Amino acid sequence: MTKPLRTLIVEDSEDDAELLLRELRHGGYDPAHARVETPEAMSAELSAHTWDIVFADYTMPHFNAFDALALMRNTGLDLPFIIVSGTIGEDRAVVAMKAGAHDYILKGNLKRLVPAVERELRDAAVRRKHRQDEETIRKLAYTDPVTELPNRARFIEYIREAVAVGLREHHPVALLLMDIDRFKDVNNTLGYVSGDTLLRQVGARLRSALSGHELVARLGCDEFGILLPRLASADDLEQFVKKTQNILEAPFMIDEIPIAVEASIGAALWPDHADEETLLQRADIAMYRSKQMMSGYAVYAPEYNSYSSERLSLMAELRDAIDRGQLLLHFQPKVEIATGRIVGTEALVRWQHPRLGLLMPDKFITICENTGLMDPLTRWVLSDALNHCQGARREGIRLRISVNFSARSLHDKHLPEVIENMLKITGAEPGRLTMEITESAIMLDPKRAEENLATLSRMGIYLSIDDFGTGYTSLANLKRLPVNEIKIDKSFVTNMLNDKNDAMIVRSVIDIGHTFGIRVVAEGVETKEIFDALAALGCDEAQGYYISRPQACEQLKKWFTASIWKLPSAS
C-alpha cells in the first residue's frame, strides 16, 4: 500500500525534482507534489494547499533554502523541512540545521531520503499532538465549565493585559466584583443543579450588558468579575453599574419559579486605587463594604481597608508566631503508583494559634505574602522540614521532602544561598529536597525565576511545578526550565471520573510531562477508583486523602508501620 504524501518541492531543476519523487515512490509513498522556484510561488502554494513536507534545494538562482525556511516559518507553519543539495559542506549543514531545517540530504546520496522523511513525519506528528494538548489545556484551564465564561486564571491575565494597554494609551481601567446575595439559599433550597442554572443565566445577562472590549468572568462560587478596560470617566463607571443592576432586576426563571437576585458590587480603579497586583483585592474590599452597608454598590476607598480587622490582628500575631514556636509542619506522603512505594512527603505548614486553634495555610499564607513575613516563614519551614528528613534518615527511613515556595521567595536573589546554608547546617543532601513552585509564581518574573531555578537545579535540588493546569505554562517554558516534576492540580484530579474536561486535562498533562522526561504527580487523589484510573494513564506518583491525610510527624511514623504502602529502606 502506498502512503499519500503532499509534497512541496522548492527546486529549479525539473529533473532533480523528478529524482526526488522517484526515490519517494520507491520508499512506498505516493507523492502529490508541486514544484516552485520563487518566493512568490512558494507563498501561494503554502496558503492555497495543505502540505505534509517541504524539500528545498540548497541554492537556486533567485532563491535558496534559508529564505524558503524563513518564509515557511513566517506563515506560522511547522512542517518537516528537508534541504536537498548537490553541494553542501558540513559547516553549512550545521548552520542550516540551527536555522531550523530538520535534515539535509545530498542529491548524490538519496538513499537517506526515505528514512529521514519517515522520521520527520513522525516527529511532526508528535509536535502537532503537543500543540493540540497545549491548546486543550489552555482552553479548558481558562474556562469556567458551568457558565462557559473565562475563569479566574484567565481574568487575572486580562487584568494584566488591560493595565498594559491603559498604561500605553493613558486611560484608567475599572474592575467590578459582583457577588450574588444569598446564593447559598438558592443552592440549598433548589439544589445545586438549579444553582448552576441560575449562575449560567446571570452570566448570560451580564454578558449582554457588555460592549466591545469589556469582559465578564466567573471567579468563584457566586462571584463574577467585570473588567472595563477603556474607561473614559468615573461617570461612565456609575452608568455601567446602573445598567448592570437594571439588567439583573427582572426575576430569573428557574424550574418555572421566579427568583429575584440581588447583587453586591464593588469597584476599584487602576491607577487611582490600586496597581495591577492589588486591583482585584481592592475591588473585593469595596464589595465587602457594599455588602455591609447593604448599598448594592461601593467604590473602593482606603479607609475601607480596616474592615478586615481580623486579618490585621492575625498579621500582628503572625510576626511572633515563628519565634514563639507556634508553627508546625504536617507531612503528606507521596506514593509511586507502579510500585506502591512511599517515595516522599510534602511538608505543609500549620499555625497552632493560642485562641483560634490549628489554622490552615489559607488563613495566613496570603497575609505573609503581603507583609514581608514570607521569607522568615519559608526559612523556618525549610529548616524544620530538612531536620525532620534527617531525623527520619537516622531511623532508617529514606524519603524525599517537598517544600512549598511562594512567588516572593522564588524571586529572592538570596534564595540559593539560604538553601545552601540550610542544607549544610542540617546535613541533608540536596537531592532529597524538592521545591514546589506554582506556575503563576514563575510567570510573575520569568527571567529572575529562571536564573534562581537554574542555580538551584545545578545544586542538585529537584524542582516541581505545583498546581499545574491552573495557570498557563507553555511547553516552551517547561522545556526551558529545569523541571523534574509537575503536579496536576487537585481540582482536575478530584473530578476526573465525572468530568470529561478534567479527565482530558489530566491525560494531556501526563502526556506532556512524559515527552519531556518529567515525572507527573497527581494530587488530591481521594479514592481508589481515581488511583486506578491514574495508574491506567501512566501517571507516576499520587498524593491525597486516599493514601493519607497530612499528619504530624509522630502520627506519620505510626502510619508508616501500619500502612499498606511500602517504605523504602535506607541505604
Q: Which residue is nearest to Ca ion (CB)?
A: 436
User: Coil, helix or strand for 51?
Assistant: coil
Q: By C-alpha distance, which of 53, 22, 52, 57 is closest to 37?
A: 57
User: Binding marks (x or -) toward ligand C2E, 400..419, rule CB under 6 A?
Assistant: ----xxx-------------
Answer for the pair 178, 264: CB distance below 8 angstroms, yes or no.
yes
Nearer to ligand C2E, 198 or 392 (CB): 392
User: Coil, helix or strand for 270?
Assistant: strand
CA dist 230 and 166 (Å) reads 7
| 378 touching Ca ion, by CB under 5 A | no
Which region among 50-58, 333-341, 360-368, 561-569 touches ligand C2E (by CB under 6 A)?
360-368
| 541 touching Ca ion, by CB under 5 A | no
User: Binding marks (x or -) toward Ca ion, 392..431, rule CB under 5 A?
Assistant: ------------x---------------------------
| 375 touching ligand C2E, by CB under 6 A | no
| 266 touching ligand C2E, by CB under 6 A | no
List the grid coordinates of 90: 558540513
Nearer to ligand C2E, 17 or 461 (CB): 461
Q: 73 burial class (0-12, 13-18, 19+ CB within 10 angstroms)?
A: middle
Which region among 39-47, 91-99, 297-305, 460-468 touches Ca ion (by CB under 5 A)?
460-468
List the grid coordinates of 326: 507556634
User: Coil, helix or strand for 467?
Assistant: strand
Q: Regarding beta strands 462-468 and 433-438, do their DSSP bridges make them parallel or antiparallel, or are they unpaired? A: parallel
Which region among 107-115, 269-277, 421-429, 542-550 touches ligand C2E (by CB under 6 A)?
542-550
> How near is the Cβ of 406 to Ca ion at its closest, in Å?
11
Answer for the pair 488, 534: CB distance below 8 angstroms, yes or no.
no
How would DSSP label each residue in 1-30? -PEEEEEEEE-S-HHHHHHHHHHHHHTTEE
| 85 touching ligand C2E, by CB under 6 A | no
Distances (CA, A) of 384 to 138, 200, 403, 475: 37, 47, 10, 34
Nearer to ligand C2E, 151 or 470 (CB): 470
| Contact residue for ligand C2E among 526, 551, 563, 568 (CB under 6 A) | 526
| 508 touching ligand C2E, by CB under 6 A | no
> How near is the Cβ of 280 to Ca ion at its closest, in Å?
21
Q: Which residue is nearest to ligand C2E (CB)?
A: 544
User: Coil, helix or strand for 327?
Assistant: strand
| 466 touching Ca ion, by CB under 5 A | yes
User: Coil, helix or strand for 297?
Assistant: strand
Interface residues with ligand C2E (CB under 6 A) are 332, 348-349, 360-362, 365, 381, 404-406, 436, 466-467, 490, 523-526, 544-545, 550
Binding site for Ca ion (CB under 5 A): 404, 436, 466-467
